[in-house]
Structure 1
Amino acid sequence: MSGDVIVVGGGTAGCVLAARLTEDAGCAVLLIESGPDYPNLDGLPADVADASEPTVGHDWGYFAEADSLDRRVPLPRARLIGGCSATNGCFALRGAPADYDRWRALGNPGWSFAEVLPFFRRLESDLDFADRWHGNGGPIPIRRHPADELTPIQQAFINAAVQVGHSYVADHNRPGALGIGPTPRNVRDGLRMSSAITYLAAARHRPNLTIRADTTIGRVEIAHGRVVGVRTTTGELLEADRVVLAAGTYGSPAILARSGVGSAARLSRLGIDVVADLPAVGEHLIDHPIVAVDLPTRPAAGPKFQAIATLSSTSSGAPDLHLFAAGPFPVEREICESGAIFGIVAGLMAPQSEGSVRVRSADPSDPPRIDVAHLRHPDDLARMVDATVEARRIARSEPLAALVTGAEIEPGPAVADDARTAIAESIRARVASYHHPVGTCRMGTDADRDAVVDARGRVYGVDRLWIADASVMPTIPTANTNLPTVMLAERLAAWLTNPTPA
């Protein structure tokens, strides 16, 4: 089987790429996904359809390497058409304009906020706002729960945060948003509106699109510095004029490494022939860490993530923290007598810690070695302590405090607000992933040996090979990364369709 373009990975970015590239009837696209495809809503598994909370029913089963406390943090990554957009919490956030201006300042033309705003607008159909910041004709519907839809905990979280001094924010996707308000979400009538249901569904009928699910790619085939195609783990060669990797922040660097693209020293030690010496492949992994203040409450049904606070821990006012109320979730009576808990979750949105993704061998069945490096930088831990203290302050304020039915579960009443060392120890013991890894194939200038691709996603040292997923982000946005990844795929698809320099 051959095609003009092979897209490896049918996740968030891959579905966008397949849909946009096949708008050109002369471009044949083969979209390859390791997991299953559910082409009809009637056949969609219930947990994939249900937008009320994330699911791990279709997952690669990754874990981080053991940390200093010998904890192996789970790192869910979806394995199905739609990828993590088909399993996540449906937070439809962009981040701050400064996030993208920084990409441009690092030597990546075309990525300033002014330049990416049209692609943010293009991807969305915002049901609440119609102004220059928002789009109203895109594939992904975005709305915020009005007050009469908020659950008691979510409404109380907003009111308590305002009570302690945080501003109310009606639109978290407007530049300068800082404060508490309803979460923009890509949900329609309780259905998770993934890139499979939105982008790909509109393209499935096109004769120039072939979708091949349940097919895992072992490596890219490269001859004389140029892409030939890709080889499946069963040994089948699929030829193409161009290959675009969209296998994600963990998957794309692993495929590159198995293809001989990466650090020559590391690849040689694994017995992999070196095609292009790019030391940054798999480096600079950045992820948002999270930790919660867990509180007992009464069981209740309903959406779990309706409100969010974007805050700043610095005098500059730059957003670097998320707080959101998660729950309630049922728990065993041994944990709390009420049978349910909710959390005020703190997410560090501008971490300085960096980790890595490394292959263990040339065997695609070997899971990658993932070092998420959560809180390794001392400033990260200090800011998480501040965020935990603030989460506690909100939780103890009315009307939220009235919904707490007993003593705090974590960090627990024995840990005082001014006991920063004890709070830090509690955070280290419980820190988890917000599931937003980026940066392992980051974009940059040719002179920058810390770059893997140029500003248009072209892999250095290999002709006709691109990467178009969150792995190319040079820094992490101060937001959940689903919407930025869709934007990135839109931006790169436009360049792939029209390669003429802007």
Structure 2
Amino acid sequence: MNPVTTFDTVVVGAGSSGAVMASRLSEDPHHSVLLIESGPDYGLIEDTPTEIIKALPRNVDIASKLLGKDSIHDWSYTATATDLLNTISVPRGRLVGGSSAVNSSIFLRGIPEDYDLWATHGNNEWSYEHLLAYMRLIEDDPDFSEYYHGKLGPTPVLRFKENTWAKEQEIFYTASVGAGYQDCPDHNAPNSSGVGPLPLNISQGVRWNSAMAYLMEARSRENLTIQADTHVRKILLQNGTANGLEIEHKNSISKVLSHEIILCSGTISTPQILMLSGIGQTSVLESADIKVMHDLPGVGKNLWDHPQVHLKFKTSNSIEHQYDSPRLQVGLKYTATNSPYRNDMFVLPTLFTSHTAPDPSTNVDSVFRLVFCLYFAQSLGQIRIRSADPHEHPEINFHYLSDPFDRIRLREAVNIGIDMADRKEFTELIDHRISPENHNLKSDFELDNWIMRNLETSHHAAGTAKMGPTSDRYSVVDQFGKLHGIDGIRIADASVMPSSVRANTHLTSLLVGERIADFIKKGL
């Protein structure tokens, strides 16, 4: 790239939303688009590493190559979870495709109430009624043809048929129905609840990430440039307007100029880039010795996520291990006792094995888990930069379970999981419970302590540049993605989601990309 290059639009981040944005804006052959990604770009499926391609491996050895501090595909963030848990891993995808290239491939919509809540907070263009057309647009769902689903979209949707479920998935489904939860053939239907097959963005065993869905055809366009392995250091500002970026590629620092910059860097990197550019809360910027260009106190605030806790069980030696079956096929949505939030809990059964192939002479070590996710948590955290170094990871504090109702619901979840595992359907699968241990269950205090020390992220962090009207002091962008107070910057990723969606965030991130791209095309 030349020292100074100019584009109509620069999209920063090639993840779920960024791939959509670059693809849609470059449909106009007269509009030049640069898509910047910090990680690698594999381009062709056949050139992509196996761990990126293979969806939902149940083998620990394969899964461990995907994420972690030794993976070039993972930002490998860490965060404070609770007062009793100072450090947890927060993996995020670092390649073209972003976290959609390393996630669990669950293609789940939020429920109508999620988007309607966004609308009531001054974002009337984001109601479920407005978004349904985009939900149909992004998917190719062969299982359902009614008004709520699409068949011609770029993302294939797969639900494993019941006769193909792995044994532990079948047992979990049967036990859930036996415990009184209703059958749910379509988790993406607006009024759905209960247990049933997960919608997955998988095609022929391939995790169909956003780069595959949106960039494979777009790559041939002369007006689209994809610049991988390039780190954005900061946004260049002049007289209240953004006109470019300072970027780093192969240890060389240069500038790129643009009429509009669209940040699609995700919940962690988007507020970090803003703060590095002098946009954020004054006290945070000054503590990092960064010149304040625009005081915007909501940057990095309103961090929401779906905390999860795992109940672990040693499997019976008699269970037949199905090594080639994906580890996730079935899920359960339910509403916690006395909760005003429908479907605020989500449960996944999963089984990992420690061997790559079946061997009758080997003593297979495997663990079955019931993963309980709090899908409408009330606790909020924050992200803040530590310094002006663009390569230093920001400080992330989730403040999980700081809201008492979150603790109550996860406490109930653990007890539901223990009761479910004691059902007769699990007799052939479970040998004994590994954790929590019995002493962790003696009182609510002991159980809360165990939960606080064992929480993990569901990898759905969002909300750190939330959209809303300027009357909301902590909103960062308006409902069209335009940054408050600075011209030439939009944000279109999970960071703009003002409140939780009761779903994995990949699908809704695609919606954000589609909706804001449409706003741009309409001149809004």
TM bracket (short chain): over 0.9
Partner of 1:350: 376
State the SS of the aligned residue for 1:496: helix
* Larger displacement relative to structure 2 (429-438 or 394-403): 394-403
Partner of 1:11: 15
* Larger displacement relative to structure 2 (266-275 or 122-131): 266-275
Q: Give the C-alpha shift of residue 342 in structure 1.
A: 1.1
Q: Give the C-alpha shift of residue 326 in structure 1.
A: 1.3
Partner of 2:392: 366
Report how many aligned residue pairs link the two structures: 493
* Larger displacement relative to structure 2 (389-398 or 202-211): 389-398
State the SS of the aligned residue for 2:309: strand
Q: Check the 8 A contact 1:330/1:341 in 2, yes or no.
A: no
Distance 1:470 1:13 in 2: 8
| 2:103 aligned partner, one-letter code | N
Partner of 1:2: 6
State the SS of the aligned residue for 1:221: strand
Q: Give the C-alpha shift of residue 329 in structure 1.
A: 3.2
- Residues 329-408 of structure 1: matches in 2 within 5 Å? 329-330=353-354, 339-405=365-431, 407-408=432-433
Query: What CA deviation, in whole Å up to 9, does each residue of 1:216-273 have, x standing for no partner?
Result: 0011101001111111134311001110000000000000001111012221232212
| 1:172 aligned partner, one-letter code | H
State the SS of the aligned residue for 1:110: helix
Alignment partner of 2:243 out of 215, 218, 228: 228
State the SS of the aligned residue for 2:352: strand
Q: Give the TM-score, by structure 2 length.
A: 0.92
- Residues 25-424 of structure 1: matches in 2 within 5 Å? 25-53=29-57, 55-56=66-67, 57=71, 58-65=73-80, 67-233=82-248, 234-297=252-315, 298=319, 299-301=321-323, 302-315=325-338, 316=340, 318-330=342-354, 339-405=365-431, 407-416=432-441, 419-424=443-448
- Residues 436-451 of structure 1: matches in 2 within 5 Å? 436-451=460-475
Q: Check the 8 A contact 1:156/1:398 in 2, yes or no.
A: no
State the SS of the aligned residue for 2:195: strand
Distance 2:140 2:276 in 1: 39
Distance 1:65 1:294 in 2: 23
Q: Check the 8 A contact 1:180/1:307 in 2, yes or no.
A: yes
- Give the % identical residues: 36
Query: What CA deviation, in whole Å up to 9, does each residue of 1:107-162 have, x standing for no partner?
Result: 01210000011111100001211111111110000121001110000011000000
Q: Give the C-alpha shift of residue 402 in structure 1.
A: 2.0
Query: What CA deviation, in whole Å up to 9, does each residue of 1:344-397 have, x standing for no partner?
Result: 100000101111110111110111001111212121111001111112222222
| 1:401 aligned partner, one-letter code | T
State the SS of the aligned residue for 1:344: strand
State the SS of the aligned residue for 2:10: strand
Q: Give the C-alpha shift of residue 34 in structure 1.
A: 0.2
| 1:91 aligned partner, one-letter code | I
Matched, 1:498 2:513: no
Q: Check the 8 A contact 1:249/1:439 in 2, yes or no.
A: yes
Distance 1:280 1:102 in 2: 19
Query: What CA deviation, in whole Å up to 9, does each residue of 1:67-118 have, x standing for no partner?
Result: 4225300000110000010000001000210000000000012100000111
Distance 1:328 1:464 in 2: 47
Partner of 2:479: 455
Distance 2:457 2:463 in 1: 15
| 1:45 aligned partner, one-letter code | P
Partner of 1:334: none
Q: Check the 8 A contact 2:304/2:463 in 1, yes or no.
A: yes
Distance 1:468 1:73 in 2: 27
Q: Unaligned 5+ residue runs, structure 1?
A: 332-336
Q: Give the C-alpha shift of residue 421 in structure 1.
A: 2.4
Q: Unaligned 5+ residue runs, structure 2?
A: 58-62, 356-362
